[in-house]
Chains A and B, each alone.
Chain A
Amino acid sequence: AQKVTQAQTEISVVEKEDVTLDCVYETRDTTYYLFWYKQPPSGELVFLIRRNSFDEQNEISGRYSWNFQKSTSSFNFTITASQVVDSAVYFCAGYNFNKFYFGSGTKLNVKP
């Protein structure tokens, strides 16, 4: 069984602040992929980042960075210097056996 927990229901920040979204992915599988998706009000899920379970190297891509720690099952996502356009619902997801398992999402409000 797969379980994705996003404990933060809603976060509000002021523009230019950094914000970290938390995710815990629990599974007994040794091979899996982890993702972060963004869902703006239009409804479409927009792919942000993907990580496989063998790669714990943290990375930065533009204003996005992520921290994967297999030992704690955490896959956190940071937006640096947030912008109003970052306001959306962010979903953490795992992928295995031909399907995605999504968390319940974190709504991010970035205020000007």
Chain B
Amino acid sequence: DTGVSQDPRHKITKRGQNVTFRCDPISEHNRLYWYRQTLGQGPEFLTYFQNEAQLEKSRLLSDRFSAERPKGSFSTLEIQRTEQGDSAMYLCASSLANRDTEAFFGQGTRLTVV
């Protein structure tokens, strides 16, 4: 499978714990995006990378959230001290920078904070 891969698909955690999600983009794609989708809503932009540089962060990305793409390939999204409001689907997408409207989305990681 050469699509965008996200791991894990589901995560249940207790409030206050830290969690980390991984996204593997399509191999030649230099752009990688993170979106968050709460129940009954459309995805909302969190952040994006071009290669290893994080070029933009949404105000939704509080200090408890950090995203990295150390070698310009896979990316991780960490949430520290999780809160119930963090429960959502976290979607990753990738594209080529010169074809940025042709983004491919992964199946997402569904986080439940109990």
Docked-complex contact A43 and B89, CB < 8 angstroms: yes
Q: Which of A35, A43, A45, A95 contacts B110 (CB 8 A)?
A: A43
B43 lies within 8 A of A100 (CB)? yes
**Interchain CB contact under 8 A, A102 and B42:** yes
The secondary-structure label for the interface of chain B is strand
Whether A100 contacts B107 by the Cβ 8 Å rule is: no
Q: Report the bound CA distance from A44 to B4 in whole Å.
A: 10
Asked if A25 is an interface residue, CB under 8 A from chain B, the answer is no
Nearest-CB residue, chain A, relative to B108: A43
User: Interface size for chain A: under 10, 10 to 19, 20 to 34, or 35 or more residues?
Assistant: 20 to 34
Chain B interface size, under 10 / 10 to 19 / 20 to 34 / 35 or more: 20 to 34
What are the residues of chain A within 8 A of B107 when measuring CB–CB? 42-44
Determine the residue in chain B with the shortest Cβ distance to A6: B42
Q: Given A93-B42, A104-B42, A105-B41, answer yes or no on A98-B56 (Cβ-Cβ < 8 Å).
A: yes
The yes or no answer to B85 lying at the interface (CB within 8 A) is: no
Residues in A whose Cβ lies below 8 Å from that of B102: 47
Chain A residues with Cβ below 8 Å from B55 are 98
A43 to B110, CA, bound (A): 9
Please, which residue of chain B has its CB at the minimum distance from the CB of A9?
Answer: B40
Q: Which residues of A, 44-93, contact B by the 8 Å Cβ criterion?
A: 44-45, 47, 50, 91, 93
Once the chains bind, are A95 and B101 in contact (CB under 8 Å)? Answer: yes
Determine the residue in chain A with the shortest Cβ distance to B31. A98
A67 vs B40: C-alpha distance when bound (angstroms): 25
Task: Find out whether the CB atom of A44 lies under 8 angstroms from the CB atom of B42.
Answer: no
Assuming A98-B100, A99-B33, is B43 touching A44 (CB within 8 A)?
no
Q: Is the CB of A104 within 8 A of B40?
A: yes
Interface residues of A (CB under 8 A from B): 4, 33, 35, 37, 42-45, 47, 50, 91, 93, 95, 98-105
